[in-house]
Structure 1
Amino acid sequence: MSKGIILFGHGARNPDWAQPFHRIRASMERQQPGVLIELGFLELMRPTLDEAIDSLAGKGATEITIVPIFMAAGSHIKKDLPLMVGSALDRHPNLSVDISAPVGEADYVIDAMAQYALN
């Protein structure tokens, strides 16, 4: 049993928009070398979520956690993401996929943003 993580974002036309995702990934890899991490985007950027899932499955991941790098759970998280995961499970029936709450809803992330704003 191998675990993988997907940092899921909306995507944008400007490639610089994805830099924080790369920084998060690099920090995760420093903290836990060897962890399987992919970026996956809803639109406008690659890899797509499907490509990220396929990549992790191809690397032997049997359990994937999708971490939405969103401030809150809007329609993309509540509606689009579960449909996309369902499609991926059709392609990879032995895969287990969990969707975390959006990062912006975690209390310690909110506290960190508040501290940043106060300084």
Structure 2
Amino acid sequence: MKAIILFGHGARDPRWREPFDRLASLWQMQHPDILVELAFLEMMQPSLEQAVASLVAKGANELTIVPVFFGQGGHLRNDFPLLLEECRVKFPNVQLRATSAVGDDDAVLQAIVDFGARAL
């Protein structure tokens, strides 16, 4: 069973996660047959490992992790690969793959340009 993890940075202010919660809800509404979980690098729960464990408990065995970051900074270049490898070791029977940061995608960047244009 396939599933997706939307992976964000995390923040101290709980309101910061509200768009992530909306994003996960939108995913679930548009793709009801594919499980979705949020995960955060720091300061918020669930962690990547907790999200993987949750999805595995629901029967998922092919997980795609989407870093909801605008660029490939130190967290994605250094911290994320270590977390991903820890999950691969802990869940050896689960296929874990990751996409690039959402900000690397031209369609995402175009959506931001379109948003700005609508604001004018």
User: Structure 2 unaligned runs (5+)?
Assistant: none
How far apart, in 1, do the equivalents of 2:54 and 2:20 lie?
Answer: 17
Query: Which residue of 1 is the match for residue 96 of structure 2?
Result: 97
Q: Aligned residue pairs: how many?
A: 118
Moved over 4 A (4+): none
How far apart, in 2, do the equivalents of 1:63 and 1:76 lie?
Answer: 24
Give the AA of the match of 1:106.
D
TM-score (norm 2): 0.94
Deviation, 1:59, is 1.1
Deviation, 1:34, is 3.1
How far apart, in 2, do the equivalents of 1:85 and 1:11 lie?
Answer: 17
Indicate the percent of aligned positions where both proteins have the same amino acid.
Answer: 42
Q: Does 1:24 align with 2:26?
A: no
TM-score (norm 1): 0.95
User: Structure 1 unaligned runs (5+)?
Assistant: none
Give the AA of the match of 2:37.
E
- Counterpart mapping for 1:1-119 below 5 A: 2-119=1-118
Give the AA of the match of 2:72.
A
Measured against aligned partners, the alpha-carbon deviations of 1:10-48 in whole angstroms (never above 9, x if no partner) come to 000011000111111111111111321110000000011
Give the AA of the match of 1:67.
V
How far apart, in 2, do the equivalents of 1:95 and 1:71 lie?
Answer: 27
